[in-house]
């Protein structure tokens, strides 16, 4: 019997089955429609890119500013996020809420840069206060931001010294001090690797601080005179008027800091005045692509202060003050 002939029905079944498993499909119509919309929108650009993080910040922003949606294409949904297109004080903007965390911040910013014709990114939201001279409700526009979560958790049996820029000795925080050995040892703070359009191909630069755009910081300097809100409502107010400060430093990590000892360590070691979970990732993405970036963060709590964290009471006020600062900064930007 010819075994080749006897296998033909089975081969036929396999071929038919495979056609169901690996279909060759055309580009989905919704993607073609999105591409057409993007081309039309970008012909009307350039835009200022606006990136915030959570719903509290988005609600304060949309409530505080005169955002006028594009009459033809008011929004575009991409990768699960809604990119809103419109104008604020006559300036064309694209706005998105990225979601919590550094990956979300970087992904939404990169997508905005890749898809839309934007001239730069304004990143804003609330943050924890690390600086005892700053207060809840204040707004910080930092000149430098670091990723304070890029750790080397060191072997306690090995001496320090290597590439790390600073060290946190966990044992220094024993109570009482010097009472035994702390096996958690030390944490070393390492550098980011920045790949950028201005650098050599495939050769990253080690950076600890990411600078925000100097020209935009100069524009923002006048905002230090602006008036910020002091009250959440008629019965809940801050003891003094909040202020806006330009030129401080900020830290980012996948950490919600609500610990006074760690707050003081960050301030004493790195001189940072605020801590959040997205800013360095957004700034790094802009630096990599060669785009201007400014970060505007309202302080919602003093990390580690006694009792419940005040972000639940004053987060909305910090978000409102941030939105006011963003609006005033957009007014100062020259028309494109």
* CATH for 93: 3.40.50.1580
Q: Do 178 and 195 fall into the same domain?
A: no
Which pLDDT belongs to residue 50?
98
Is the Cβ–Cβ distance between 69 and 46 less than 8 Å?
A: no
Q: Do 88 and 169 fall into the same domain?
A: no
Q: Do 63 and 182 fall into the same domain?
A: no
CA distance 285 to 301: 27
Is the Cβ–Cβ distance between 275 and 128 less than 8 Å?
A: yes
CA distance 298 to 323: 9
| 326 within a domain of the structure (yes/no) | yes
Beta bridge partners of 92: 87
Which pLDDT belongs to residue 32?
62
Q: Do 181 and 283 fall into the same domain?
A: no
| 5 within a domain of the structure (yes/no) | no
| Whole-structure pTM value | 0.88
Kindly give the parts of the chain with pLDDT less than 50. 4-26
Which pLDDT belongs to residue 176?
80
User: In the Cβ-directed half-sphere of 63, how many Cα atoms lie within 13 Å?
Assistant: 12
Q: Do 72 and 98 fall into the same domain?
A: yes
Q: Do 160 and 297 fall into the same domain?
A: no
pLDDT in tens, 215-248: 999 999 999 999 999 999 999 999 999 999 999 9
Q: Do 37 and 171 fall into the same domain?
A: no
CA distance 74 to 145: 33
CA-to-CA separations, 276 to 26, 146, 210, in angstroms, rounded? 42, 10, 15
Which pLDDT belongs to residue 175?
83
| 304 within a domain of the structure (yes/no) | yes
Q: Do 95 and 81 fall into the same domain?
A: yes
| 222 within a domain of the structure (yes/no) | yes
CA distance 80 to 104: 11
CA distance 240 to 135: 9
Residue-range definition of the domain harbouring residue 173: 151-190
The dihedral formed by the CA atoms of 10, 16, 22 and 25, expressed in degrees to the nearest 10: 170
Q: How many domains is the chain partitioned into structurally?
A: 2
Q: Do 141 and 261 fall into the same domain?
A: yes
Burial label, 303 (beta-carbon count in 10 A; 0-12, 13-18, 19+):
buried
Q: Do 201 and 262 fall into the same domain?
A: yes
Q: Do 248 and 317 fall into the same domain?
A: yes
Which pLDDT belongs to residue 25?
44
Burial label, 268 (beta-carbon count in 10 A; 0-12, 13-18, 19+):
exposed
Q: What is the DSSP letter of 172?
A: G
| 182 within a domain of the structure (yes/no) | yes
CA distance 187 to 286: 28
| 63 within a domain of the structure (yes/no) | yes
């Amino acid at each position: 019997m010819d075994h080749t002939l006897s296998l033909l029905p089975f081969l036929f079944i396999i071929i038919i089955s495979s056609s169901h498993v690996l279909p060759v499909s055309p580009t989905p119509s919704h993607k073609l429609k999105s591409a057409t919309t993007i081309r039309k929108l970008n012909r009307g650009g350039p835009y200022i890119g606006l990136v915030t993080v959570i719903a509290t910040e988005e609600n304060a922003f949309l409530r505080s500013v005169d955002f006028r949606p594009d009459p033809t294409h008011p929004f575009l949904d991409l990768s699960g996020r809604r990119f809103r297109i419109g104008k604020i004080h006559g300036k064309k903007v694209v706005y998105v809420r990225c979601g919590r965390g550094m990956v979300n911040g970087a992904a939404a910013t990169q997508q905005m840069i890749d898809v839309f014709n934007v001239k730069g990114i304004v990143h804003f939201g609330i943050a924890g206060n690390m600086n005892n001279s700053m207060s809840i409700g204040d707004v910080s526009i930092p000149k430098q931001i670091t990723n304070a979560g890029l750790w080397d958790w060191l072997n306690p049996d090995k001496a320090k010294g290597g590439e790390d820029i600073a060290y946190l000795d966990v044992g220094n925080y024993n109570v009482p001090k010097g009472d035994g050995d702390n096996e958690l040892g030390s944490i070393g703070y390492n550098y980011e690797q920045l790949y950028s359009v201005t650098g050599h191909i495939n050769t990253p630069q080690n950076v600890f601080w990411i600078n925000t755009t100097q020209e935009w910081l100069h524009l923002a300097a006048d905002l230090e005179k602006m008036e910020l809100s002091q009250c959440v409502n008629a019965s809940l107010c801050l003891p003094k008027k909040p202020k806006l400060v330009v030129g401080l430093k900020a830290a980012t990590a996948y950490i919600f800091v609500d610990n006074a000892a760690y707050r003081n360590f960050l301030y004493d070691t790195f001189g940072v005045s605020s801590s959040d979970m997205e800013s360095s990732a957004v700034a790094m993405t802009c630096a990599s692509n060669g785009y201007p970036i400014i970060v505007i963060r309202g302080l919602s709590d003093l990390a580690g202060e006694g009792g419940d964290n005040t972000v639940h009471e004053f987060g909305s006020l910090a978000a409102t003050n941030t939105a006011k600062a963003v609006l005033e900064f957009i007014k100062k930007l020259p028309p494109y």
